[in-house]
Amino acid sequence: MAIVDMQRLQALTMKRDHTRLLQFLQRAGCVQLIPVEVDEGQAGALNHEQKLTAEDTQNRIKWTISRLSKYDAEKQSMFKPLPLAPREALEADNLISVLQVVEQVEELMRRSGEKRGSETRLEQLESQLIPWLNLDIPADELKATATTRVLTGSMPNRKLNDMISAWEGRPVSISQLSNISATAYFLAVVHKSVVEEFLQDLRAAGYTPAAPQTGKLTPKDQMNAIQQDRTALEDEEKAIEEQLRKLAVHLPDLRLAFEALSAKKARLQAQETMAHTHSVSMLEGWIPKPSVEPLLDAMRSEFPTTQVLVSDPTDADDPPVLLQNNAMVRPYEAVVEGFALPKNGTMDPTPAMMPFFACFFGMMVSDAGYGLMMALLIPILVKILKPSEGARKIFWILCGGGVATLFWGAMYNTWFGFSPWPSVFDPVNNSLPVMGLCIGVGALHLFAGLMVGAVQNFKNKDPMSAVYDQFSWIALIVGLGLLLLPQTKEIGKWMAIISAGIILVTAGREKSNNPIKRLISGFGALYNITGWISDLLSYMRLFGMGLATGVIGMVINRLVGMLTSSGIIGMVIGAVVFVGAHLFNAAINTLGAYVHSCRLQYIEFFGKFYEEGGKPFKPLRFAPRYVRIHE
């Protein structure tokens, strides 16, 4: 229940075996490879071209999956577990049939793109033809003669009517073809003797030259032809959709191929960290100490010619960090990982943090009905959904929070907003005891943080630092608290004075040998007593959020009571409102409780001892996205 000890693994193998060795290590999933420090000519990827090809192929397969997913008969869902796949399927390298599917989808999508381009062109042609649909002759016949000239275009509708009236009885024939948004499109046949005068009047009226689409068909016939082309394109689109739907049966194979390429890319990237000569290859990495013997036994059996050396890290090394806890504590590693991993040589805070996190969560949700619901339903959801490792941790955190919520909800006597029995604590009608309880739990939390720091100092064989930096603060805070009681006022005074003196003298011991500077540092440290006050007040959020949950639940129940008193219909609506509103209240307060519980750990608890800076342990292993590995 701590940070796992890491050891350095070095292996020298025949070059012909290095690919098989990487596959073996990927199956084992317990070695994080690191670059071997050798001459530049001996390092680097042996198959750079192969790596680029794998990346390109994987991107094509991913694109194909995204195109076919909407036709998947078995829709993926967060409430549906990922399909199982044997580990051997993720090591397969035969992509011929899969690439044939990819090429077919690429060709179909190319045709679909061309079809969309044709549809856009036809839409543009339609928009150009609409103003001229009443023209009953082909545009190619709109030609000037020896005595006339043909003009087409548009102008404001009112101006066109004025033109028709003004030129009535003169050698001009004006035909209005359409009126679109107060803009009139027209055809005018003008005798050559009045062309210039007519053009002057047109320009004064806002004339814009325009002409119908050229062709031997009338605009209406052209529109009919376009409609036929669009119908043909729609039929082609349906055919493409049907072919894509048929190809969707290959989605499981495509997903497996994607995972196989992901595993291959990981091995190729690992290969880049190795060193190579003409006949041998060398790899180096970190392995958790408990995994050393099982791995070495398996390697000796499968690779008898491979030479392996395992050694402890040196002072100059900075091995990756892997947390290891029992089944009850393990889910709460997600909270630590969400902040930052602890530095090597320090303590894993997860076991000390876990009971406080669950307690705070329960005090903030504070409804026993909600807690019972979470405690019973979440294990069922985990069993049905089979979530990923990270999601499973969150589920079990919420389950533990549900158990704590059941306890605190019973203490507050809140069951889905109802209070059927006498309360141990009543945050609504008697809030001061609950506030005191929250401050007291907060003080225990802060003291626990100091105690973790003290244990760390003892592990580092520095017990005096525990006295100076942790025990003195605990004694100071307890002493100040004892000053509030007449019976313990005297002992509290001396505890506070002695502790303050220790802090004053020792706070700056590592900064300077100058006693004046050390005293200044000591006064600065003592000033941090104000920070303790603000830290303790931060725990009032436990009271505030717990009160909010209970009050909202009471309001929901009153509203439902008003609905159910109005008859059968009101009872039905009230039942729906009761379930929906309480589910919403539980969800929103669960989210808030999780966030604020994390905040109390990160700011108040970790601030008393935590040293971050650990790098996560990232072994060479399978990390599937679309499937679960069948062990």
Per-residue pLDDT tens digits for 109-158: 999 999 999 999 999 999 999 999 998 888 888 888 989 999 999 999 99
8 Å CB contact between 263 and 86: no
* Whether residue 569 has pLDDT greater than 60: yes
8 Å CB contact between 392 and 578: no
| Phi then psi dihedrals of residue 8, to 5 deg | -85, 130
8 Å CB contact between 609 and 450: yes
Percent of the chain surpassing pLDDT 70 = 94
SS (H, E, C) 238-289: HHHHHHHHHHHHHHHHHHHHHHHHHHHHHHHHHHHCCEECCCEEEEEEEEEH
Go through the chain and tell me how many residues it has: 631
**Joined tokens for residue 55:** 């990346």
Model pTM greater than 0.85? no
Cα 263 off chain centre by: 22
pLDDT, mean of residues 485-503: 81
State pLDDT tens for residues 166-205: 898 899 999 999 999 889 999 999 999 999 999 999 999 9
State pLDDT tens for residues 68-112: 988 887 776 666 777 778 888 888 777 888 999 999 999 999 999
- Give the pLDDT of residue 278: 85
Residue 519 DSSP one-character state: H
Which comes out higher in pLDDT, residue 571 or 44?
A: 571
Which comes out higher in pLDDT, residue 279 or 37?
A: 279
* Whether residue 40 has pLDDT greater than 80: no
CATH class of 143-211: alpha beta
* Whether residue 556 has pLDDT greater than 80: yes
* Whether residue 41 has pLDDT greater than 70: no
pLDDT, mean of residues 383-399: 90
- Give the pLDDT of residue 351: 93
- Give the pLDDT of residue 515: 66
pLDDT, mean of residues 381-391: 87
- Indicate the SS3 state at residue 176: strand
For 343: left if phi > 0, alpha if psi spans -120 to 50, otherwise beta; the answer is beta
State pLDDT tens for residues 285-310: 999 999 999 999 999 999 998 999 99
Measure the CA–CA gap between 48 and 40, rounded to whole angstroms: 15
What lies within 8 Å, CB to CB, of 145 at 6+ separation is none
Using alpha carbons, select from 403, 354, 358 the residue that is nearest to residue 376: 403
Q: How confident is the model at residue 469 (pLDDT cuts 50, 70, 90)?
A: confident
Other CB atoms within a 10 A radius of the CB of residue 67 amount to 18
Q: Where are the domains of the chain?
A: 2-94+252-311, 143-211, 324-484+532-613
- Give the pLDDT of residue 311: 93
Give the chain's end-to-end CA distance (angstroms, integer): 26
Q: Which helix (H) or strand (E) holds 419?
A: none
Measure the CA–CA gap between 446 and 452, rounded to whole angstroms: 10
Q: What angle do CA 409, 411, 417 make, to 5 degrees?
A: 40
* Whether residue 49 has pLDDT greater than 80: no
8 Å CB contact between 318 and 615: yes
